[in-house]
């Protein structure tokens, strides 16, 4: 092993083959790290399910704080309880349940919903007010549950911020981790979504969501019709822009969802609407927002 002299003493110039191989092996393990369990077992993911629970709970606290700071906390027990009942019904029909899901209303007229790692789903009152029936609302919520089931949030964090953000949140100091979580919470609240999911992630969440919707007794076509309705209205209704920026809806994706739904056996008398939804929608349609 060649060494060179310096003022600070001897410095290793060339590593031995053993250490080079060891370093490459460690790097390879990091780069190719895969989830060992869960719906997307084998997908690239540096975060374990247990770590995702902890990360999700911490981030949920930060998101709640950011919503409060922006005056977007929904202090309406009837709406929040309804969302939790509907959400838990859908979760009960998910292919896998690795997390304790929570469902929270967000006071904003933007038509959107988003999920963060660990099973925390947020539903805007603007979405509830715009949905034609419970099946449409349930379809959007099932889509968000699909993102959680497939662990898209932690996959994206692993891919985009692998060495810095995720590593520091999991093993960094508490003060540093809290600041990073706070910054991420601001991003989530202001952008209306966790992170920009890939087209594959969105399509996978669509398929999982459609099956959840179907198994819960709803008409799965409600998901397709609602997404199309939003797309048709964006020409003159800017409050839909956030939804479509975080849930891109190209024609091939809609067609893929249609094709999948056609493979499901017909269901007699699927649920479309309920009195509970109509009551909650009426509440949300009367909410006054600060312009």
pLDDT band for position 158 (50/70/90)?
A: confident
At residue 229, the pLDDT reads 76
Does residue 246 register a pLDDT over 70?
A: no
Domain boundaries, position 260: 49-285
Mean pLDDT of 116-144: 96
Higher pLDDT, 207 or 20: 207
Within-domain flag for 33: no
Within-domain flag for 38: no
- What is the number of domains present in the chain? 1
Within-domain flag for 13: no
At residue 178, the pLDDT reads 72
Within-domain flag for 19: no
Within-domain flag for 110: yes
Measured between alpha carbons, how far is 259 from 264 in angstroms, rounded to an integer?
A: 10
Does residue 191 register a pLDDT over 70?
A: no
Within-domain flag for 89: yes
In the numeric block, the tokens 């007794």 are attached to 217
Q: Which tokens in the block code for residue 179?
A: 């600041």
At residue 21, the pLDDT reads 41
pLDDT band for position 145 (50/70/90)?
A: very high
Q: pLDDT tens digit string along 49-80?
A: 998 999 899 999 999 999 999 999 999 999 99
At residue 29, the pLDDT reads 41
At residue 122, the pLDDT reads 97
DSSP one-letter string for 47-63: S-HHHHHHHHHHHHHHH
> What proportion of the chain, given as a percentage, has pLDDT over 90?
49
Distances (CA, A) of 135 to 66, 253, 272: 30, 20, 5
pLDDT band for position 102 (50/70/90)?
A: very high
Higher pLDDT, 253 or 170: 253
Within-domain flag for 14: no
> What proportion of the chain, given as a percentage, has pLDDT over 70?
69
At residue 27, the pLDDT reads 39
At residue 3, the pLDDT reads 41
At residue 73, the 3 state secondary structure works out as strand
Q: Are 98 and 38 within 8 A, CB to CB?
A: yes
At residue 209, the pLDDT reads 96
Mean pLDDT of 124-130: 96
Higher pLDDT, 14 or 33: 33
Q: Which tokens in the block code for residue 110?
A: 């933007």
Within-domain flag for 31: no
């Amino acid at each position: 092993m060649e060494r060179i002299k310096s003022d600070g003493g001897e410095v290793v110039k060339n590593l031995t083959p053993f250490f080079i191989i060891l370093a490459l092996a460690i790097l390879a393990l990091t780069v190719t790290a895969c989830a060992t369990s869960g719906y997307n077992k084998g997908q690239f993911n540096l975060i374990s399910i247990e770590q995702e629970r902890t990360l999700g709970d911490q981030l949920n606290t930060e998101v709640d704080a950011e919503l409060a700071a922006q005056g977007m906390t929904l202090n309406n027990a009837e709406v929040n309880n309804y969302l939790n009942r509907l959400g838990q019904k859908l979760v009960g029909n998910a292919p896998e349940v690795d997390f304790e899901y929570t469902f929270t209303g967000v006071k904003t007229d933007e038509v959107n919903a988003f999920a963060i790692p660990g099973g925390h789903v947020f539903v805007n009152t603007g979405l509830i007010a715009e949905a034609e029936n419970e099946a449409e609302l349930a379809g959007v919520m099932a889509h968000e549950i699909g993102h959680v089931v497939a662990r898209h949030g932690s996959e994206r964090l692993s891919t985009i911020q692998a060495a810095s953000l995720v590593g520091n949140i999991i093993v960094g100091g508490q003060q540093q981790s809290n600041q990073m979580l706070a910054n991420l919470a601001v991003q989530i609240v202001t952008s209306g979504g966790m992170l920009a999911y890939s087209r594959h992630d969105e399509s996978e969440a669509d398929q999982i969501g459609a099956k959840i919707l179907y198994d819960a007794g709803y008409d799965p076509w409600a998901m397709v019709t609602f997404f199309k309705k939003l797309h048709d209205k964006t020409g003159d209704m800017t409050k839909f822009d956030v939804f479509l920026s975080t849930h891109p809806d190209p024609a091939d994706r809609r067609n893929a969802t249609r094709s999948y739904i056609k493979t499901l056996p017909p269901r007699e008398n699927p649920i479309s609407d309920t009195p509970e939804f109509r009551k909650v929608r009426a509440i949300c349609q009367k909410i006054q927002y600060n312009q």
